[in-house]
Amino acid sequence: MDQAILVAAGIVWTVLLALVPCTSLGEDESSPVMLSLLSPVEWPSPQSDIGGFRLSLLYGECRDFAGLDIGLVGRATDGFAGLSIGGVNVVSRRLAGLQVGFVNWNLNDEMTPGHRSIGVQYGVVNYADTLFGLQDGWVNLSSGTLTGVQYGFLNCAADMSGLQCGCLLVLGVNVAAGSVSGCQIGIVNLADRMESGLQIGLLNIVLHNGFLPVLPIVNGGF
């Protein structure tokens, strides 16, 4: 995955969001800009919705956010749409966009297709309850269903639909505590159930529905 393309796409997305009025923000509690030192020492208050730009020197917090977010630690206690660049990026509900940081954390627990998170997490540690998109980092985690791609040294998901891939295609451990529909590629691949797909690696383990419970090189189920 070309990292430059991902960042460029996020910037373009952010510009488009800035040009479109954010109708989800209430008129009495919204602002186009937020400046924060260490929440609640910020303007406007943490209960505000932001549609535009936020700069967080240490820690910034708001409710809904749409636009470009830059800072050491930034959190949206509701939804987030746009581009987030920082040390730690936290979204407590739905993510729609791109997170770039040391730690990217999305606590969305809504499983309905219309509310699940959609986007890209690029960092050292990435976590999402449910995600449709890409996690690219050293450690990628999902406690729900991840539909898309996990690329890193350790990839873990409850249910995986898509691709779990170790860095440089093989240098990784892939774990699916539930079912896999797709492909796992790494040194060690583990799945509880293989609904449809393949494991490619040195050690491939499928506890249920595999060709065999343990196989070298290739395992899978259909």
The 10s digit of each residue's pLDDT in 96-142 is 999 999 999 999 876 666 668 999 999 999 999 999 999 999 999 99
Tokens representing residue 13 in the block = 């997305």
Tokens representing residue 58 in the block = 């240490």
Contacting residues for 119 by C-beta, under 8 A, at least 6 apart: 95, 96, 97, 98, 99, 131, 133, 134
Secondary structure (H, E, C), 120-153: EEEEEEEEECCEEEEEECCEEEEEEEEEEEEEEC
**Residue whose C-alpha is closest to residue 179's, from 201, 159, 165, 209:** 159
Interatomic CA distance for residues 141 and 89, integer angstroms = 15
pLDDT single digits (tens) 178-222: 999 999 999 999 999 999 999 999 999 999 999 999 999 999 998
Interatomic CA distance for residues 1 and 206, integer angstroms = 28
Contacting residues for 196 by C-beta, under 8 A, at least 6 apart: 181, 182, 221, 222
Contacting residues for 47 by C-beta, under 8 A, at least 6 apart: 29, 62, 63
Q: What is the pTM of this model?
A: 0.85
Where does residue 5 rank: exposed (0-12), middle (13-18), buried (19+ CB within 10 A)? exposed
Residue by residue, DSSP assigns 53-89 as EEEEEEEEEESSEEEEEEEEEEEESS-EEEEEEEEEE
pLDDT single digits (tens) 165-174: 999 878 999 9
**Residue whose C-alpha is closest to residue 93's, from 71, 123, 118, 122:** 118
Beta bridge partners of 189: 174, 204
Q: Name residue 171's amino acid.
A: L
Interatomic CA distance for residues 74 and 38, integer angstroms = 10
Choice among 4-8, 76-80, 87-91 with the minimum mean pLDDT: 4-8
Most confidently modeled range among 12-21, 80-89, 104-113, 163-172: 80-89
What is the structure's pLDDT at 170? 81
Domain ranges of the chain: 1-137, 144-222
